[in-house]
Amino acid sequence: MNTTAPKNRFQKTNLITIILLFIVILAGAVVRSTGSGMGCPDWPRCFGCVVPPTDASQLPKDYKEKYVAGRVRKNLHFAKSLDLFGFHDLATRLRQDKSILVPEEFNAAKTWTEYVNRLAGVAAGFAMIFTAIFSFKYWKRMKSVTILSVFNLILVGFQGWLGSIVVSTNLVPWIVTVHMLLALALLAIAIWTYHAVKVEGKPEVKAAGIIKVVTLIGIAISLTQIVFGTDVREQIDIVSARLSQYRNGWINSVGDIFPEHRDLAILVLFANIMLYALVRRHFNRHSVQQQLMSFTFLIIMLQIVTGIALSYLSLPPVAQILHVLLACLMFGAQFYLLLNLYRSANVAEVRR
């Protein structure tokens, strides 16, 4: 029985899924930095249309009242969920939040920005559906690939719902952090299943345990840095609503979270310098491990550049978008490196 064709089909679809997930993260960062989250106030259509309007004259009658009412209903349902989990104070604040009653003015650029974000999400969703379907070829010999592929499909549905809550609510900042961590979880699962199939039948890599430990530490620090970054983003949102005309003063108004996020970047750099030295010592120059570490280091350098731009150029939107994307690329590269320290398609690359 020829298993090459199903394997290639699954790997290609899974790789497309990973690429599309990065595109969704990029599109989400654009939406976030431009404030386009409510560019389409309804779902799955946009202002009741399959193709969004380009001019206010194309909008449905009384659209402001209609979609504000929909937003209120969604937030009330979410408040009930918060009550169920014991967040009574937060649920009460959400019910009493008057800012959600202020209708969004139509902006064609924001509408189409959000619409493109949704298209990217739909494309990723279909790719994950096909990945889950093709994963059943591995049910008998690698059940974990099938289970995780199906779980990822369920998780992306939950992520879509959570994304709508992010833009609908104003008083639940921690959802932004959860939303980002779930995006990284989706990536990690897709990368894991891709790697598991790619190295099927390959022997284990005899890498030194210290490399694995330092890689795990590096990933943990990177995740912490990402969480700090989302906290900074949440505080910036609060400050920008209060000081909308004084962009150059936003950073100084967010408190200690920004310098803490900046200082943690030094720890990220130090951990990856250690890891880079270890990988260079134990793996050949052309090994996938060294290539991944070099890519990770390049990403970190670019991340530092965008961080400097954010600090000294009053948070330019382009730098915000790249900063988020680079952080996710760094996590993906580090996680894939960790997997290749246990099993790799090129085991002969380890230095003896």
- Residue 21 sits in which domain range? 1-201
Whole-angstrom distance, CA of residue 324 vs CA of residue 162: 18
146 and 56 in one domain?
yes
211 and 161 in one domain?
no
208 and 78 in one domain?
no
- Out of 159, 183, 201, a domain closes at 201
Average pLDDT in the chain: 86
- Out of 178, 201, 224, a domain closes at 201
162 and 131 in one domain?
yes
Whole-angstrom distance, CA of residue 222 vs CA of residue 216: 10
176 and 94 in one domain?
yes
> How do residues 263-283 score in pLDDT, each as one tens digit?
888 899 999 999 999 999 888
Q: Which residues pair with 17 in a beta bridge?
A: none
**In 3D, which of 104, 131, 108 has the Cα closest to residue 20?**
131
Work out the number of other CB atoms within 10 angstroms of the CB of residue 201: 7
245 and 186 in one domain?
no
* Domain CATH for 332: 1.20.120
- Out of 184, 201, 218, a domain closes at 201
> How do residues 59-97 score in pLDDT, each as one tens digit?
888 888 888 888 888 888 888 988 888 888 878 888 888
Q: Pick the residue with more confidence: 33 or 186?
A: 186
Q: Pick the residue with more confidence: 172 or 169?
A: 169
Residue 352 binned pLDDT confidence (cut-offs 50, 70, 90)? very low
Whole-angstrom distance, CA of residue 264 vs CA of residue 143: 39
224 and 189 in one domain?
no
* Residue 29 CA, distance from chain mean position: 9
Q: Is 247 helix (H, G, I), strand (E, B) or coil?
A: helix
Domain count of the fold of the chain:
2
Q: Give the largest Cα separation in the chain, rounded.
A: 73
| Residue type present at position 89 | D
**In 3D, which of 329, 90, 87, 324 has the Cα closest to residue 228?**
324
